[in-house]
Structure 1
């Protein structure tokens, strides 16, 4: 299996597609896409006889039709789940002959996982299990064990200077072996290189840190910049694992903590959300939607089964749009595992270099707090707007990499269509749409 599609463009998604968000240095949104997003989204609400549900459906239909026309390709579906203070709406716009997605259709939500990782860290902080301001070399409270191992295979650059908070903010300078080319691996990221040669490979954290240590890779000294890093969140997943193991007195995994405390049947808001970490755990539950991806070569691939062992804590989650909506809505309203004052810490604009990225969340104008993600042909957005009390999940199971340098242009059109659908659905109900 060619793993190129897993990580190649993922790091470039996590800025808001609006002019108030400075984007990554190498991000394709810097130029070509910016112009697509600066316009206004206006929905005609003069005819109040059109039911609200129909207005939302038509708004999403129009965005999908525009994307099909622009790409000259059939778009399988474009989907929006939206909840206001009084109503819930769902629109699945599908191509002719295709079955609509439902609110309970499973799919992979990629880097939206980071919000769950941040929630886990802050729940541990709230419970007194860790100090998110602490350096990763400090001891776990009440134990003689540090947050990360004291072994040579953890001697990454600036290890003693990195804090848990900086990992959450992407301000630790940890090199991303999932997205950026690593010396000695044919100009590819480490994850891509390995998966393209063995799709069943079982990754470990230590293995993924080895290229960083061997080449002394870093972006900058901790707290001196911003660079999105999946590897930083993989380190956070190990910290969660170590803290939970120490507190429970038995070996635990990242997935164990999320199941036991964040999403499972004993959590405050139980939801069918999973975070696979084994190389043999590749199947989505039924019903699910497979993604479609046009490769740079013009070949059309479809994906459902994916090895997520190289994405633990940063992009390995899957669930449904309805469940993600319930999660982000309850979380941001202080009705889930985090108390309102702890939720504020997630939302705080704490990064000097990137003031709109807090602890595992971004702030998207007229959409609210949340995260987006992309993996294996899936695009997703999960947000909650505290001003309007509107939560929203958008999902497009389609990538096109046939236009532009390395597919950036056509991929960007897909990415923007997801946002356009989110804004259009809001505007159809009279809420502020695209800025």
Structure 2
């Protein structure tokens, strides 16, 4: 076949893909296709439980699906929205929101050096790189954007043993305080670079932010979450998992599998705190993200600072100042027509993302550390379908 014919066929194939990728779909068809995607994922990978909640208000589209650890499925909106689960690193959005609230109260700024807030022993040896201690250079912005260089107590290997994830499996009855978590990085890990000279995702940095919040607000972190976010927004099913009181209506959350071990009822769950230790529901998370983007929690100026991309987390996902940004065109060029989404994801296949242009909330949970990547593979085609629904068309 002549080269010109091959090139023409390739061009035609790409053109067809572009047309199909942008072709409008009905809400009913989008819902059917997304259900098939979820069912295929569950059949192939068998997560311990699954939850997907999508709400695009401007197109009158809503999808709810859950399958609990007993295999019982439901698509009832109320049932799905009220099922509690551990939101993992989605909780970082709450921590960064509180920090920006403190900034607006003039308690600190993004440029505030953290050594002016926290005791020196808490920072000792956390920011030593090439035999130089950079702790007096670290700012609040460095911690929010994961550019401080500090190690990650949860995922990074330790000098004398495996990562904390492996330790949790060996000793699930161990409980941890925030200072215990700092000690893991202080005693058994090394900083990766001097502040501002790179990007390294770090739960240790967010533990420091939680301690900064307590120092500046004069209250415990779980109390601040309740008084500043949960109660004002009516988030009746949300609480910090291992600290403070639980709501009276508390149900057993979905499984929390790390390395195959369910940590729901173990002291090891205390290994997460201000980096993502919240139990919540899809309904509560929707209240939070809509309030965040409407200006009810922090100003538009603060939100814009959170949203502004600074570094690449992984291909297709950027990281700002306490918030992730999904750029679908970076996954695949034909998806450049899709709006960016903002929010955060966690290790359990947990996701909370919002498209403020199309007014779309996307929430998922798959209850296992094996599903972080699978959840992204579901999100891309699902959001592609949602973005193609014709606006203001009722079925």
Report TM bin, short chain. 0.7 to 0.9
Cα distance change, pair 372–353 in 1 and its aligned pair in 2 (3 A):
closer
Structure 1 gaps of 5+ residues are 1-37, 139-146, 246-251, 296-300, 401-410
Equivalent residues of 2:345, 2:352 under 8 A apart: yes
Equivalent residues of 1:57, 1:93 under 8 A apart: no
Alignment partner for residue 58 of structure 1, among 32, 35, 43? Answer: 32
Equivalent residues of 1:347, 1:358 under 8 A apart: yes
* Deviations 1:326-370 (CA, angstroms, capped at 9, x unpaired): 211220121x21011221111122459999311111111335111
How far apart, in 2, do the equivalents of 1:312 and 1:174 lie?
17
Bigger radius of gyration, 1 or 2? 2
How far apart, in 1, do the equivalents of 2:185 and 2:252 lie?
39
How far apart, in 2, do the equivalents of 1:380 and 1:412 lie?
7
Q: 1:394 aligns to what SS in structure 2? A: strand
Aligned to 1:324: 285
Tell me whether 360-369 or 93-102 shows the greater mean CA deviation. 93-102
How far the C-alpha of 1:253 sits from its partner, in A, is: 1.2
Aligned to 2:157: 181
Structure 2 gaps of 5+ residues are 1-16, 128-133, 328-338
- 1:356 and 2:318 correspond: yes
Give TM-score scaled by structure 1 length: 0.70
Aligned to 1:407: none
* Deviations 1:289-313 (CA, angstroms, capped at 9, x unpaired): 3357884xxxxx6564354322111
Aligned to 2:64: 91
Cα distance change, pair 420–395 in 1 and its aligned pair in 2 (3 A):
farther
Tell me whether 90-99 or 340-349 shows the greater mean CA deviation. 90-99
Aligned to 1:104: 82
Cα distance change, pair 40–278 in 1 and its aligned pair in 2 (3 A):
farther
Equivalent residues of 2:47, 2:366 under 8 A apart: no
Q: 2:297 aligns to what SS in structure 1? A: coil
How far the C-alpha of 1:227 sits from its partner, in A, is: 0.5
Equivalent residues of 1:172, 1:221 under 8 A apart: yes
TM alignment of 1:66-215, pairs within 5 A: 66-68=40-42, 70-71=44-45, 73=46, 76-85=49-58, 87=60, 89-92=62-65, 94=67, 98-100=72-74, 102-138=80-116, 147-151=117-121, 154-157=124-127, 158-185=134-161, 188-190=162-164, 192-193=166-167, 195-214=168-187
Q: 2:346 aligns to what SS in structure 1? A: strand
How far apart, in 1, do the equivalents of 2:154 and 2:197 lie?
22
Q: Per residue, is there more helix in 1 or in 2?
A: 2
Alignment partner for residue 356 of structure 2, among 375, 383, 386? Answer: 386
* Deviations 1:138-182 (CA, angstroms, capped at 9, x unpaired): 2xxxxxxxx111237644222111101000000000111111110
Equivalent residues of 1:166, 1:172 under 8 A apart: yes
Equivalent residues of 1:112, 1:315 under 8 A apart: yes
Aligned to 1:346: 306
Give TM-score scaled by structure 2 length: 0.77
Equivalent residues of 1:328, 1:384 under 8 A apart: yes
